[in-house]
A = this chain, B = another copy of it.
Amino acid sequence: MESAPSVKPHVVIVGAGFGGLEAAKKLGKEAVRVTVIDRTNHHLFQPLLYEVATAALSPADIAAPIRGILSDFLNTEVILAEVKSVDVAAQTVNIGDREIAYGYLILATGARHSYFGHDEWEKLAPGLKSLEDAVEIRRRLLMAFEYAETITDEAAKAAAMTFVIIGGGPTGVEMAGAIAEIARYTLEKDFRHIDPASARVVLVEGEQRVLSSFPEDLSLSAVKQLKQLGVEVRTGVHAKNLTDAGLEVGDEFIPCRVKIWAAGNAASFVGKTMGVPVDKAGRVIVNNDLTIPGHSEVQVIGDLASFTHQGDRPLPGVSPVAMQQGRHAVRNIVAMIDGRKPQCFRYWNKGSMATIGRNKAVADLNFIHLSGLPAWIVWLFIHIIFLVGYRNRIAVLIQWAWSYVSFNKGARLITRNFQAETRPPT
């Protein structure tokens, strides 16, 4: 703290997801000047986004304003802007109307879903990455039941009450379980002309098993638990075509109104603007210390980074990887400021888990594999602890407790956007 403010090194963090925010929190206590740039004003607890999409939680329960989280760090400035490109030679970040110079850069702009070249499918089958996505999926789910209630054509009714989730990773499994639960329990008594419990939920996975990053016994257990909820699981088949009317998968056409995309990731475009090697998902291939080739002042972390120096495939795009990398990037910056070299990153894998429904989950804690109730309790406990912000944690806890005893989900709102609401129908 001996240097004057004007000569403090300037660290720019792009993206306030798990990795970027973790780095910002650590840098808030260092003798540096920090600028955090994000295109939204909130940090999102993405692992619970499926709960917003399935009406169990409200957007504000799983999101916290970035400014609020970092307001006590007087060395830190937050900018709401979308980064267009990074110029590594000039050491600047372009946010559209101006350039921001950096001494050190932590790039953490994450990923969205990949439609494998079929970008036109995005409108038909939204993915689940932002609050807007979640609210839109919630609207589609609830509207499908409303629509089915009003029509008499049996085929159309069946299509309206068929929900297909494409992609059997944790998000897909969680969505499938949660939709099945809404239909069977929450909406049970809400309609007079349909039986919501007769809704079909189909989970489609291209690989031979769901949760392919988990041990095989847990994949099998997940399928068993999904089937207890009435979810149909199709593995080893790929989405061939998607239309308003339904999904063509393998040799089968599944008529369905609501389709949800939970397959494949495509890294944010910002990585590519640096002119460094990226992998086929668009992720920046980083050195073993998280820096990029030729520019140790630039580190890439989280879903945007392809880190291939540990294990036989790149580290997965999960929050523990991003958070550990965020902390490591800060240690590297502190070292470089002190004239030392950045150090090799090693991910400490504490395990992984996916929830399927009430009392249903799988958890791989390395030393032990859990299924069903024990896994679900571990999942609940960890997610409550890690929810950012005290208020959110309490609010979520109360709502989960209430949902658990009542089988009810309170956030069953169908909302339209402002323009649609205030303008007369055309």
Task: List residues of chain A with CB under 8 Å of any chain B CB.
Answer: 40-42, 58-61, 63-65, 67-68, 71-72, 77-82, 122-123, 126, 130-133, 135-136, 142, 146, 149-150, 187, 189-192, 389-392, 394-395, 398-399, 402, 406, 408, 410-422, 425
Contacts and interface: CB of A to CB of B under 8 A. Distances in A.
A288 B115 CA distance: 62
Given A146-B80, A394-B398, A402-B394, A63 B413 contact: yes
A184 to B, nearest CB: 15
B130 A421 contact: yes
Given A42-B414, A80-B414, 18 more contacts: A41-B414, A42-B413, A58-B59, A58-B61, A59-B413, A60-B411, A67-B191, A71-B189, A80-B146, A123-B422, A132-B416, A132-B417, A132-B420, A389-B410, A391-B402, A392-B410, A395-B410, A417-B417
A68 B190 contact: yes
Contacts of A80: 146, 150, 414
Nearest to A420: B132
B133 A418 contact: yes
Nearest to A96: B425
28 contacts: A41-B413, A41-B414, A42-B413, A42-B414, A59-B413, A60-B413, A64-B410, A65-B190, A65-B412, A67-B187, A67-B191, A72-B189, A77-B192, A78-B190, A82-B425, A131-B413, A131-B415, A132-B415, A132-B416, A132-B418, A132-B420, A132-B421, A133-B421, A133-B422, A389-B410, A391-B399, A391-B406, A392-B410
